[in-house]
Amino acid sequence: MPELELLPESNLRNMAAKTLSSHRKADPCILVIFGGAGDLTKRKLVPALCNLAEQGFLPQQFALVVVSYTELTTDSLRERFAADMKKFALRPVNPSIATRLIGHTYYVRGEFGEAATYGNLKAALSDIAQQDNIPSNHFYYLAVAPRFFGEIVKQLGAAGLAQEKNGQWRRVVIEKPFGHDLESARALNAEIKQVLDERQIYRIDHYLGKETVQNLMMFRFGNGIFEPIWNRRYIDHVQITASETVGVEQRGGYYDTSGALRDMVPNHLFQLVSLTGMEPPISFDANAVRDEQAKVLHAIQPFTPEDVLTKTVRGQYAAGTMDGKQVPAYRDEINVNASSSTETFVAMKLLIDNWRWADIPFYLRTGKHLARRVTEIAIQFKRAPFHLFRNTPVDTLRSNRLVITIQPEESISLRFGAKVPGPIMQQGAVDMCFNYADYFGSAPSTGYERLLYDCMIGDATLFQRADMVEAGWSVITPVLDVWQALEPRDFPNYAVGTWGPKEADELLARNGREWRPMAAAQAAA
């Protein structure tokens, strides 16, 4: 009988490149970035466009227009972008690609609330379409403060820049935060839907640009061994962690009006909850996938005021030392109120009221200045029946654990028990780890490549729909209400470089559980 032939790893690394000949070509289009003179554009969006061009995903007929009130011209913007490409691109940019992108970059100066700005933009888009021979497909990226979202969409509508006709499309990409509570999210949805159809709105979450996040559906629904055990019968609980080692840095003014709960939970973490907990969609059509995600969010058990006190934890970091450097307390950060009650850490216990997940808790935590930068989903399975080992030296059985790491590395690892070699029965924990870089090579990515490409081809699968946004806010609004009514008495309550306040550990300890230890080994499960 012939031996099985394993697929060489070199072949695996080339698989992504082989798809280039068959991928859907993006339509010729013009990307308009409102607020494009800021950090997001130079650090993320322009490097992402360079990567797309390098990989063959950017259409040949493409132009970039920046709209901002900054004192710039098209020539000075091009000079700035040329320097930014060298500084912020994740790898050296092919000179022909750099020349192509910079040569098709344009600037329109104006205030976002003035009609004249949109008249000038309309004229510029018409000139660019004729000059660069680009059909009139536009997508507008709102890289601006949230207070401008509704105003810009209204002005686009008034100027006729949002109207689709003659087969030409218009799409609007909106950054987070989408509202600051349920009422404001509903109001913003209503405002922009006076101008745009839902299919034209792309509410972006850069977490969903990560390969490992996208791989969740492939992992669950493309492998026969995992989906049958992905339920309350076999899983004890789920932990989702999104921790950062940095503080608020220069974002104190924004962060002090937002906090960790608004900043991370209804968008990033709930997206991970919905992808982890969703039922198999009938297809990978955008609405089929988002229908199932929305069902999970709607099924989250609502928080009563008593639940907020027992199932949520908030924290704020104190001064301390990290990596040998003195770190100020949150209240001493720039543009932060000296008596601020804004939380920089959140932990909570969610229950999902459906057939698959009834009584299985989802534990979430996120925070600033924690022990490690990591985003992961840990699936803790139930322990195997113990009676078989009662007359052996094995005094306890370890549970199996599956860990899907999203950042800083992208990997999937599985921990299970194995017999320790020797004459007696002893169990040891072993790990099997799949790392993306080892199998498919390391392709530098900002996380925005897939999202920009999907917007160009009209695939909204990885973008939040209005009902998903409102469902997320409906879950956390009761928490916001209680926290606003009851000022924290113990802030600051955790040291920098730790895993948050002790109450976060107690949240799990009440049910005999604990957070997955992550300080020892970066890649261990």
In the set 104, 138, 180, 268, the catalytic residue is 268
Average pLDDT over residues 434-462: 84
The whole-angstrom separation of Cα 16 and Cα 327 is 42
Count of C-beta atoms within a 10 Å radius of residue 480: 17
How is residue 13 written in tokens? 């690394």
Report the largest interatomic distance among the alpha carbons of the chain, rounded to a whole angstrom. 84
Instruction: Report the C-alpha gap between 53 and 50 in whole angstroms.
Output: 5
3-class DSSP assignment, residue 63: strand
| Distance from the Cα of residue 256 to its chain's centroid | 21
Could you give the C-alpha distances from 326 to 320, 343, 495, in angstroms and in order? 6, 21, 12
Q: Tokens 């604990």 appear where? A: 514
110: left (phi over 0), alpha (psi -120 to 50) or beta: left
SS3 365: strand
- The CA dihedral of 272, 277, 279, 282, to the nearest 10 degrees, is 10
> What residue has token string 């009902």?
467
Q: What is the pLDDT of residue 420?
A: 62
Mean pLDDT confidence for 377-385: 88
If one compares 192 and 396, the residue with the highest pLDDT of the two is 192
- Within 10 A of 453 (CB to CB), how many other CB atoms are there? 20
Gap between the Cα atoms of 82 and 93, Å rounded: 10
Give the CA angle between residues 74, 80, 86 to the nearest 5°.
Answer: 135
Residue 239 makes CB contacts below 8 A (sequence gap 6+) with 362, 363, 364, 365, 377, 378, 380, 515, 516
Q: What are the angstrom distances between the C-alpha of 15 and each of 12, 211, 294, 417?
A: 5, 14, 32, 33
What would the mean pLDDT of 8-33 be, rounded to a whole number?
64
Task: Check pLDDT > 80 for residue 252.
Answer: yes
369 is catalytic: no
Neighbour-count burial for 151-171, b at 16+ CB within 10 Å, e otherwise:
ebbbbbbebebbebeeeebbb
Model pLDDT for residues 395-414, shown as the tens digit of each residue: 566 778 999 998 888 889 88
pLDDT, residue 497, reads 94
Per-residue pLDDT, 10: 46
Q: Which residues of 123-133 are buried (b: 16+ CB within 10 A; e: fewer)?
A: ebbeebbeeee
Residue 6 has pLDDT above 60, yes or no: no
Token representation of residue 181: 């509570």
The amino acid sitting at 321 is: T
pLDDT of residue 431: 78
Q: Which domains does the chain have, with CATH numbers?
A: 20-175 (3.40.50.720), 208-445+465-509 (3.30.360.10)
Mean pLDDT of 375-403: 76
Tell me which DSSP letter residue 388 carries: G
**pLDDT tens-digit profile of 79-93?**
999 999 999 988 889
pTM: 0.89
Q: What is the mean pLDDT of residues 326-337?
A: 94
Q: Please, which residues bridge with residue 325 across strands?
A: 322
Residue with tokens 């700035």: 80
Q: Which two tokens stand for residue 301?
A: 């058990």
* pLDDT band with cut points at 50, 70 and 90 for residue 442: low
Computed over its alpha carbons, how large is the radius of gyration of the chain?
Answer: 25
| 423 prior amide bond cis, ω within 30 | no
